Structure 1
Amino acid sequence: MLDLTVRKIDVDLSQGFGRHWNGGDAYRTQLFNALSMTFPLGEQLFIDAVRDVPEACLRDPVLRAQVKDFVGQEATHRHQHVQYNRELERQGLPYTREEKLKKRMRRVDKLGVLNRLAITCALEHYTAMLADGALRYPEWLQGAEPQMRTVWSWHAVEELEHKGVAFDAYVAAGGGYRRRVLWYLHASAIFAIDAFMQTLHNLRNDGHLFKARTWTGRCASGSGATGWRGTSCGRRWPTCRRASTPGSTTTGT
């Protein structure tokens, strides 16, 4: 078993960061931002789940120590991403899925410890996969602002370090294969939907989703609209196609 280290990083995100901090790429930036938005609530779920494992189940002193350090690492991640998300709010990027997630978490809190551990195992699997990708593929954070690269690299290292702790605690507490797989399927669908929808919300708020293009030409509808920017002819999207050459007439759809 790997020893875990609870690290502190010298990064103060309250000082702010760029709107498109990830290499100037809006899409990569808003995907990472969407993930950050989910972390404080998710990490609190993980912390509570492993803390609630009865001590009698954690007979292995090494596993007990790892559970303690797992809590320490996740608590530090939670603190850092709370600061991160406050800056996103200041930038006009609210966490629009938050109330749905809080409602879901209240239902999860009523479940037994094995079910909450199974959910934690599923989500920790995904955070470990994302962490591996962030460290394995430099292009994921290519051109990122140094402090943001530090945050995500630090988080990735610790996620990989403790990726098996929730699973080991689940097995030690008597959790079985069927329960874990069923919760894995459920958690996978929810995680994918939440991440996708929040990324879309972020891109829309950032002005990079459904952004009107600039057309050069005239609509065939006879409205006389020429060279329109950010609006469509006939109040429909889109009602005319781009002209093949600048200044030529467009045809209606």
Structure 2
Amino acid sequence: MFVDLNSDLGESFGSWKMGNDEQILPVVTSANIACGFHAGDPLGILKTLKQAVKLGVTIGAHVAYPDLVGFGRRNMDLSRDELIADVLYQISALDGLAKVAGSKVKYVKPHGALYNTIAKDSVQAEAVIEAIKMYNPELVLVALAGSNVVTQARDAGLKVVSEAFADRAYHSDGSLVSRRLEGAVLHDTDYVAKRVVSMLQKGGVESIDGIFTPIQADTICLHGDTDGALEMSAAIKAELLKNNIQVRPFCE
């Protein structure tokens, strides 16, 4: 058994710092790097890209709604053409910087509200899928495990990697508990590390409602911006290796 570990990176903006890119990159195998729409400035993004290339970490475009103030966590009712153009713009920008850094974008993972919206909204999902296909149909889409967009994207000809979250609580339908609700983010390092192993071995997690929820995941997201993120990420990787679960990128 093997699994990919990913994290959302490149999200600092000017003098405002977000995350722990330099410490998280040696732990993960794939980096979802901000493209400037929800977070990230060109210099910071390029710095993160260069470090990812140096460490052999796979690069993905972390595309989002144009929402710097809300960190991409607010829903936006964009037209199909607007959303296609926004996603194309972001992939193109990151891929250009990645080329300078000595690599290229190999996958796309939507961020925040866009990620959660396309999990169930087939109209916005179609726009994101179309943008990816227009830029490069070989790019992989990372999407919420068990969500409708996984099937929709595969039916459209894209390769899709299903994602689960190490430190997020789930509803019994497989959706993520909103960050606005208490208990949405888990902070117990030992519990989270064992939960990730259990999720992979048993094919699911216990939901916030106490119900076993099936989740088949190929990649696990480790958030680098929560309290104790570095310790948690290291503990998860160690627990995986202890249980003979190999950690390697889904895009090789």
TM-score by length of 2: 0.25
Per the normalisation by structure 1, the TM-score is 0.25
Q: Which has the higher strand share?
A: 2
If each structure's helix is expressed as a fraction of its own residues, which one has the higher value?
Answer: 1
**Whose Rg is larger?**
1
